[in-house]
Amino acid sequence: MTHYPFASRMTGIEGSAIRATLKLTQAGLISLGGGFPAPELFDVAGLRAAAEQALQETPIAALQYGVTEGDNRLREMLAALTQSRGAHALPQDLIVTTGSQQGIDLLGKVMLDPGDQVIVERPTYLSALQIFRLNQVRILDVSLDNDGLDPDEVEHLFQAHRPKLLYTVPTFGNPSGAVLSVERRRRLLELAVQYRVLLVEDDPYSELSFGPAPPPLLALADEVPGARDWCVYLSSLSKILAPGLRIGWMVAPAAVLERVTVAKQGADAHTSTFAQLTAAHYLQAGHLPLRLGLLRTAYARRAAVLSAALRSCLPPTALSFHEPRGGMFLWASLSQGVQANDLLPVALERGVAFVPGAPFYADQPDPLTLRLSYATPPEDELAQAALRLAGAVSALSHS
Ligand code: PMP
């Protein structure tokens, strides 16, 4: 075997466990594994029209190199979308990123030195963990309940460790589904100002709410003196329009945005102009609210079907969870004695895939947890998936 001189930052880095599960495509398998939007709800006609418009009305902007910050038409539309969530943002306050994934990566590049400390939720988005690990930082985690992260623990960690940033998915967390309460949001903002820690709010899911959802931290920051200086907001069109477009955005203080722009020049010069112009025309045509309505209704029903089916075929002592309030994920915990990693092969044999919870932990994973995504399969398949999963749990607990 050839030994290549890899960078030390790659030591111990593993590929995403989800990608491994996604490669499984056995016939009849129902996958609750990936965070894939419902494919039948892609607005193919609307996006085709927007792509045509991009080429017809703005061919040069859509095909030529563009500026690193992003196309101005799209920045205007994304600023308006951010405003509609209650946060003030002007086009010049944001940069277009290649998915919000790139936003996390660029922040890592401009903010983090090896040995720095960052705080994440327990559990948290696994690709964020991957990015922080590549930055060779020390990752500390803060526990989470259905109302989001625990601010007392955050204060303790801020005091004891003086971290550089805290990364949170406060609304319909991936994988937790948790929603940070408004009270905790205010407290977190106050703590960020007091201890001078950057809050990185990752918000791809807040529009996929089944009922009222709290405003973003970025919106509440205006009520807490000085807080806006410590808020970075990441969002994305992936879950509300199409992940294939790879359009995300970052709202950040000017000094951060400046450096992120330099880092993006080196990363990819700019996000695909064709994708940007297609998205801009789509948003300008006003199609998004209707699409969001369809997605919210479909996901609310799917979450209810999966929850009800799980409850009817498994006692809460075997599988406990909170019914999702929005987003795409149901986070569950198995009873003692059955571990998610042992359950997976048995579940796959019975034709259902899921993601064990372990990769979502910075360290000391809880082996009983698992994430079920209800966004992709239709309702009848979700009910079937719950039955298969229940069969696998029973088989394993009796073996
Ligand atoms: N953050 C979170 C919490 C996510 O769940 C995802 C997608 N799974 C992303 C960021 C990245 O999304 P994208 O790069 O497609 O915008």
Interacting residues of 46 by C-beta distance below 8 A, sequence separation 6+: 282, 285, 287, 291
Q: What spacing in Å lies between the alpha carbon of 313 and ligand 1's midpoint?
A: 32
Residue percentage of the chain with pLDDT more than 70: 97
If you measure from the C-alpha of residue 253 to the centroid of ligand 1, how many angstroms do you get, rounded to a whole number?
Answer: 21
pLDDT of residue 194: 98
Residue nearest to atom 9 of ligand 1 (CA): 101
Q: How far is the CA of 312 from the centre of ligand 1 (A)?
A: 32
pLDDT tens-digit map of 29-46: 999 998 999 999 999 999
Q: Which run of H or E residues covers position 21?
A: helix 17-22
Label residue 169 by pLDDT band (50, 70, 90): very high
Tokens of 80: 């308006």
The predicted pLDDT at position 19 comes to: 61
Give the confidence band of 20 by pLDDT, cuts at 50, 70, 90.
low
Q: Which residues contact 234 (CB under 8 A, 6 or more apart)?
A: 97, 100, 103, 104, 200, 201, 202, 203, 204, 248, 249, 250
Phi then psi dihedrals of residue 107, to 5 deg = -60, -40
Minimum mean pLDDT range among 7-16, 66-75, 251-260 = 7-16
Is the ipTM of this structure higher than 0.90?
yes
What does the pLDDT read at residue 23? 63
Burial of 120 (0-12, 13-18, 19+ CB in 10 A): buried
Buried b (16+ CB within 10 A) or exposed e, 335-354: eeebbbebbbebbbebbbbb
Contacts of residue 15, Cβ cutoff 8 Å, sequence gap at least 6: none
Q: Locate tokens 């044999």: which residue?
A: 349
Ligand 1, atom nearest to 237 Cα: 16
Strand partners, 113: none
Give residue-wise pLDDT tens across range 76-103. Answer: 999 999 999 999 999 999 999 999 999 9
pLDDT exceeds 80 at position 170: yes
Cite the beta strand spans of the chain per DSSP E.
Answer: 30-31, 94-98, 117-122, 138-145, 148-149, 165-168, 198-202, 231-236, 247-251, 319-321, 329-334, 352-353, 355-356, 369-373
Average pLDDT score over the chain: 95
More confident of the two residues 157 and 25: 157
pLDDT class of 298 with cuts at 50, 70, 90:
very high
- Give 218 Cα–ligand 1 centroid separation in angstroms: 18
Ligand 1 centroid to Cα of residue 102, in Å, is: 9
Residues with a CB atom less than 6 Å from ligand 1: 35, 99-101, 125, 169, 174, 202, 204, 236, 238, 243, 248
Q: Which of 120, 127, 180 to mutate to test the pocket of ligand 1 (most atoms within 8 A of CB)?
A: 127
Which atom of ligand 1 is found nearest the CA of 100? 16
- The alpha carbon of 19 and the centre of ligand 1 are apart by a number of angstroms equal to 14
Q: What is the distance in A from the centroid of ligand 1 to the CA of 396?
A: 33
Name the H helices within 88-167.
Answer: 99-111, 126-134, 151-161
For residues 218 and 184, the answer to whether their CB atoms sit within 8 Å is: no
Tell me the sheet residues that pair with 30. 352
Confidence of residue 398 (pLDDT cuts 50, 70, 90): confident
If one residue of 121, 129, 238, 247 were mutated to test the ligand 1 pocket, choosing by the most ligand atoms within 8 A of its CB, it would be: 238
Q: How many CB atoms lie within 10 A of CB 27?
A: 5
For residue 249, give the 3-state DSSP assignment: strand
Please choose from 202, 237, 329, 331 the residue to mutate so as to test ligand 1's pocket, defined by most ligand atoms within 8 A of CB: 202
Q: Is the pLDDT of residue 123 over 80?
A: yes
Contact of 202 with 195, CB cutoff 8 Å:
no
For residue 33 the two structure tokens come to 């594994």
Local structure of 364: helix, strand or coil: coil
Our mutation pick for probing the ligand 1 site, out of 22, 125, 241, 249, counting the most ligand atoms within 8 A of Cβ, is 125
What mean pLDDT is predicted for residues 296-318?
Answer: 96
Q: How far is the CA of 127 from the centre of ligand 1 (A)?
A: 8
Comparing 24-33, 144-153, 339-348, the range with the smallest average pLDDT is 24-33
